[in-house]
Structures are given as C-alpha cells and as structure tokens.
Amino acid sequence: MRIGVLTGGGDVPGLNAAIRAVARRAFNYGWEVRAIKNGWAGLVEGNIVPLTSKQVSGILHVGGTILGASRTNPFKDQALVRSCLDNVEAFGLDGVVAVGGEDTLGVAARLAELDAPVVGVPKTIDNDVPGTDYTIGFDTAVTMVAESLDRLHTTASAHHRAIVVEVMGRHAGWIAVIGGMAGGADYIFIPEVESSVEEVCKHVEQRWRRGKKFSIIVVSEGAQIKEIVHTEDELGAKDEFGHVRLDRRGLGETVAKEIEKRTGFETRSVLLGHLQRGGSPTVFDRVLATRLGAFAVELVKEGKFGYMAALRCNEIEAVPLSLVLTDLKTVDPQLHELAQTFF
C-alpha cells in the first residue's frame, strides 16, 4: 500500500503532529508514504515525493507544516480536477489523507464523490468544521488569546484605558468566545450575533461608573457591527475559495477609534493576527492530531473513503466528508449567552 498526505489552507499548530501520526501508523503496516507538497497544488502539479521515517522524527512539537500549504482550489478548473485524479493513479496512491479546514476538506469531499480514495483530518483554529467537537490548532490558538488577554489586563488597568483585541474568526466566533471567556474579556463581538459600537460604548461607560477604569474588548475579524460596513472593493481580491482578506477591514482599530471618539476614554487596539497560528502546539492539540492522524490511516486500511476522522465526546469516529459541504459549525447561542453573563 502507498498513501499520500497533504496539508492545505492556513497553517495551524499540530499539523506536523498529524503528519507524523499518519506516517508512523502507515509505516507500522509496512506501507509507503508520499508527501504531497503545498496542499492540493502538490496533487495538481505532481509535486509528490517519498516521506521517510527520519523526516517525521522530532516534529511532534514543531509548529507549521513540513509539507507546506496553499489555498489552491482544483475545482476552479475541471482540468485541475482531472490532474488530481490522474496523479493519484500515476503515483500509485491507494489513499490520500487531506489535513485541512472547511475549504481543503470541501475539495476532498468533492474528489471523493468522483471516486478518489480520499479521507480527511479536520484542522483550523476557527473550530468551525461541522461533525467534530474540536479541530487541530484551535486549543493552541485560544490558549494564546487567553494568555494575551492576561497580559493586556495589567497594562489596561495601570493606564485606565480600553483595549480592543482583534482575533481571527471569519464566519464563526469560537476563538473570540472561548479565548475571551478564558481571558476575562469585558465584551465580545462575534460574526454570529450582530452588535453595535453604541452598545459597547454604553458598556464601557457603565463599567467606568462602577469604578472599573479599564475594559478589554475582543472582536472577531468577521464580526458584524451595525455602524461599520465595508464594500468588496475596499477589501480587495478574493482567494480561490472566494474569501477576502479580513485584516483589510481593520475592524479592531476602527472599533477602538469609535470607542475613544464616543466616550472620551483612551482606547488602544491590538491585532493578534498570525501569532494565533504560530508556535508549538499545546498538549491537547498534539494528542488530538495524533489520534486523528492515526485514525485516518485506519479509514484508508478499511477502504472507508469519503470520510474524515472526527472527535466526538472524546471518541474518534468516522464522519462523512459530505458534512463539510453543509453549513459551518458556529458558536452555540447558549455559550455566547454565558459569556455575556460576565460582561
């Protein structure tokens, strides 16, 4: 048997742990493993090379991905889809393990519909892949957010100012809600619930009157705020999956300026950006990536293509990849309501 493994989309901590798990479990079966470089671009271009035991040694704790990644979407052109299918056959791949978020796994699901031997492993710091409780990279990202808020609390308190912290989260506010709750945020904006600058300003003023001379506000980059609207032209070109770069919204900075203008309180903004993606994975992400990667090899062994490994109630289960083509997993309203209890 010979299998290929790829990592697509944005990098997250834990990808190398997943690659290592796929390779080690395959080697245990006496299989050959091939590295598909730079996500789906590698399968399109035939950039596929042997992956050895030595190459996956010592990478469990390393961030990033030794395979490289890209946001290539083969389904933008049927000729690229044909290349993917042809290269699976040309390189003798009995299975392909795709490690990615909703875009990468969406491609995997559509290839599986064309009888490609593909299985998936869910990763994304956004934690918005349906069918799994957690995705690789999420725990590390929210841990970093919570630690950042801990640090920002001290300087905000010392200088009696509000600090707006922009975190990642295009369509789902998991990072903002979980990271914000863990870090003691005083207000949280998420994409799922429309809010307003007026509302957060009232909250900041109420805290001030109660003697709380500082505030920490967390804003998801994709949050919907009534007074702040951007046109597509302002946000620039889209990637191959139709996404604009949300950092161009400058949402955190805009909210900070509005709070200072409307309340008169000194307000600063902090953009955590790619710090959330970088660095060594947490223990949770190392173990999750290991469990999911090893299980994906079992799916290949059983010929159970068109499925992904998923964490459900602390058990690893096979879930149809077709779920990824449905709605994203967004924040539970009850969880957001709980977070509001502490505003």
Catalytic residue numbers, as ranges: 126
Backbone angles phi, psi at 238, to 5 degrees: -95, 155
Q: Which of 139, 330, 336, 327 is nearest to 218 (CA)?
A: 336
Tokens of 8: 């697509």
Q: Residue count of the chain, please give it.
A: 343
CB atoms within 10 A of CB 226: 11
Distance CA 124, CA 13 (A): 9
Q: Are 276 and 144 in contact (CB under 8 A)?
A: yes
Distance CA 132, CA 319 (A): 8
Q: How far is CA 181 from CA 12, 63, 323, 335, in A?
A: 22, 25, 29, 10
Give the DSSP per-residue string, 7-37: E-SS--TTHHHHHHHHHHHHHHTT-EEEEET
Distance CA 306, CA 292 (A): 15
Give the DSSP per-residue string, 98-161: EEESHHHHHHHHHHHHTT--EEEEEB-TT---TT-S--BTHHHHHHHHHHHHHHHHHHHHHHT-
